[in-house]
Structure 1
Amino acid sequence: MAQKKTSHRTAEEKAATAAKRDARRARTERARAQAEERRKAAKRKEQMTRFGLIAAVLALVVGGYFLVTSLGSDKPDTAPEGATGNYGMVVGDADAPKSIVVYEDFLCPFCGQLEQTVRDQLDAAVEAGDVKVEYRPLPFLERIDDYSPESANAFAVVLNESGPEVAKKFHDLLFDNQPSEEGPFPSTDEIIDLAVEAGATETDVRPGIEDMAFEGWVDAAGEAASKAGINATPTVLVDGEKVEGQTMAEIAEAMVGTGN
C-alpha cells in the first residue's frame, strides 16, 4: 500500500510539474507577444512622429514659399522703360530670322560659362541682323545671396535710366565680374561702379539700385519663369523651342551654330 501511495504522489507531482511548465511556457509566450506588441506600438509611434515632423516641415516650406510669393506679389511690379512684357530686354533687329530667349541669373556660374562660350559669336550675329536676343534676368539664386535679385534690379534700373545699349554693356560687365557662389559678393557701390563703367550716370542709377526700385518687377519675373516651367539657369529658347544641350558648346551650337 505504501508503495502504491508513493507512486500516486509521484504521478501527482509529475502532473503538477507539467502543469507548472505549461503555465510557465504560456506566460513566456504571453510576455513575448506583449513585448512584440509594445515594440510594434513604439515603432508605429516613432513613424507617426517622424511623418508628423516631415509633414510639419513640408507645411512650413510650402507655406513659406506661398507666403514669400504672396509678399512678393504685393510689391509694385512696374516695368523699367525699354523692358518687354516678358520681363526681359531685346537686342537686335525685331525682324531677325532667328529669335533667342536667355533666362539667366547674374550669380549663376553656368550662365557665366555660357556667356564666355557664345557672347562674341552671338553679338556678331545680332550685329549682322541674323538674330535677336531677349535677355531675361532672374533672382533664382537669392537663396544663396541677395546679390542675385540685387544685380537683376540693377540691370532693370540701368535699362530704365540709360537705355538698352548701356544695359547690354552693363549685362556683360556683370558676367565679366561675376562673383563665386561662395562669395565675397560685390557691394552696392561696386555694382554702381560697373553701371557707370557701362555708360550710366551715377546720379541717375544710384537711387534705384540702392532702393531696389524694381524689386517687384524682378520678383514677378521669377514667378513668371517658374509658371512657364523654367526651373534652371541658363535656359535657352531658340525660336520658341527649349535647347536641350548637355554642354555649353552644344547650347552655343543651337544658338549661333558654333561649337567653340
Structure 2
Amino acid sequence: MAVRRVARTLTAVAAAVLIGTGAAACSGGDGGKDSGSAAMTFKAPAAADVLAKLPAKLADDGTTVIVGKPDAPHTVKVYLDPQCMYCAKFELGGGEALAKAIEGGKVKAEYTVASFLDQGETGGSTRAANAMRAALEQGKFAEFAAAVYANQPTEGSKGAFGEEDLLKIADKVPGLRGAAFDKAVKELTYKDWVTKSNKAFVDSGLQGTPAVLLGDKQLQTKEGLFTADGFAKALKDAGFN
C-alpha cells in the first residue's frame, strides 16, 4: 500500500483516536501546501537550557533519532507529527519532564518524526521534519525540535512552517544557522529521510500522534502526556528513575 494512501487513512483515524478517557488527537489539514510564511512571534520552549545540552544521533535504522546517552538503561519511544497540536501539548508538558530525565542519564528517547498530516503532499510537516533532520546534523536536534513545537502554527493552516518561519525559529537556537542548515531548509535536502521516517511511523501500527511508549507500554493518560508532573510520575511508576 502506498505511503500516501496510508497517510490519508491515518489522518482520518487520528481524528478519532482516544487517549485515556477523552478525545485528544490530531485532526486532518492541508499541512500548509502553500509555502508562504505567516507573521510569528517566537516563543522559547520550556527547559531550553536543558535541551541545548542533550546529545542526539541517527540510529542504525537511518530514521530514528536517539536523544540522550545511547547506553542509557531505559528507553522512551516518541512518535510525533510537527503539525499535530497534541504533539505540541506533549512537548510543552511531558516533554519538559522527559528532557530532564534524559539529562539525568537513566533515560534516552527514540524519536520517530511523522508527517501524515501533510496527506502525502509536501506541506508544513514535511518542511518542519526536514529542518529537524538538518538540525541534527548541527548537533541541535532536541533544542530546535522543541522550538518548532513551541512555535507551532494553527494545525492545517495554509503556509504552516514556511521556509522563512523555520529559519526565524532557527535564529533563536544558538549556533544552528549557517550555510549548510539554511541550504538544507531551502532545498528540502532531507525529504527522502522525511518520507522514510513517516513510513516507519506507518509501519509501527500506531494510529495517531502523539504516541509515547515507556519500554513496550504505551502511555495513555492525558495527565501523563500533557503535564510535566504527570509524565515524571509515569516514569517513576514504570521504574525509569
Indicate the TM-score class for this superposition, using the shorter chain for normalisation.
0.5 to 0.7
Q: Distance in 2 between matches of 1:63 and 1:111?
A: 21
Gaps in structure 2 of 5+ consecutive residues: 9-55, 236-241
Answer yes or no: is 1:83 the counterpart of 2:73. Answer: no
Q: Residue 236 of structure 1 aligns with which residue? A: 212
User: What's the RMSD between the two structures over aligned residues?
Assistant: 2.8
> Any runs of at least 4 consecutive aligned residues in structure 1 with deviations exceeding 6 A, and if so which?
61-64
- Whether 1:151 and 2:125 are equivalent positions in the alignment is no
Q: Is the 8 A contact 2:80 2:113 kept in 1?
A: yes
- How far apart in 2 are the matches of 1:104 and 1:128? 23
2-structure distance, mates of 1:135, 1:105: 11
Correspondent of 1:176 among 136, 150, 165: 150
Do the aligned residues in 2 keep the contact of 1:89 with 1:136 (CA within 8 Å)?
yes
2:211 and 2:218 in contact (8 A); partners too = yes
Contact 2:76–2:215 under 8 Å retained in 1: yes
Counterpart in the other structure of 1:211: 187
Indicate which of 92, 114, 121 corresponds to 1:138: 114
Measured against aligned partners, the alpha-carbon deviations of 1:178-211 in whole angstroms (never above 9, x if no partner) come to 1111425232012012223213133121111111
In structure 1, give the amino acid aligned to 2:57. Answer: G
Gaps of 5+ in 1: 1-60, 69-80
* Structure 2 residue corresponding to 1:116, chosen from 77, 83, 92: 92
Sequence identity (%): 23
TM-score in terms of structure 2 length: 0.66
The residue that corresponds to 1:95 in the other structure is 71
Q: In structure 2, give the amino acid aligned to 1:175.
A: Y
1:228 CA drift (Å): 1.8
Q: Equivalent residues in 2 for 1:32-43 (5 A)?
A: none
Alpha carbons of structure 1 residues 175 and 140: separation in structure 2 relative to 1, 3 Å: same
Aligned residues: 181
Asked which structure has the greater CA Rg, the reply is 1
Counterparts in 2 of 1:256 and 1:215: CA distance versus 1, 3 Å: same
Following the alignment from structure 1 to structure 2, what is the Cα–Cα distance between the partners of residues 82 and 116? 22
Q: Could you tell me how far 1:255 is from its partner in structure 2?
A: 4.8
Instruction: Tell me by how many angstroms 1:150 deviates.
Output: 0.8
Question: What is the CA–CA distance in structure 1 between the aligned matches of 2:216 and 2:192, rounded to whole Å?
Answer: 26
Separation in structure 1 between the aligned mates of residue 107 and residue 2 of structure 2, nearest angstrom: 40
Question: Is the 1:93–1:132 Cα contact (8 Å) retained in structure 2?
Answer: yes
On the 8 A contact 2:113/2:201 being kept in 1, the answer is no
Larger RCO (CA within 8 A; separation ≥ 6): 2
Aligned to 2:168: 193
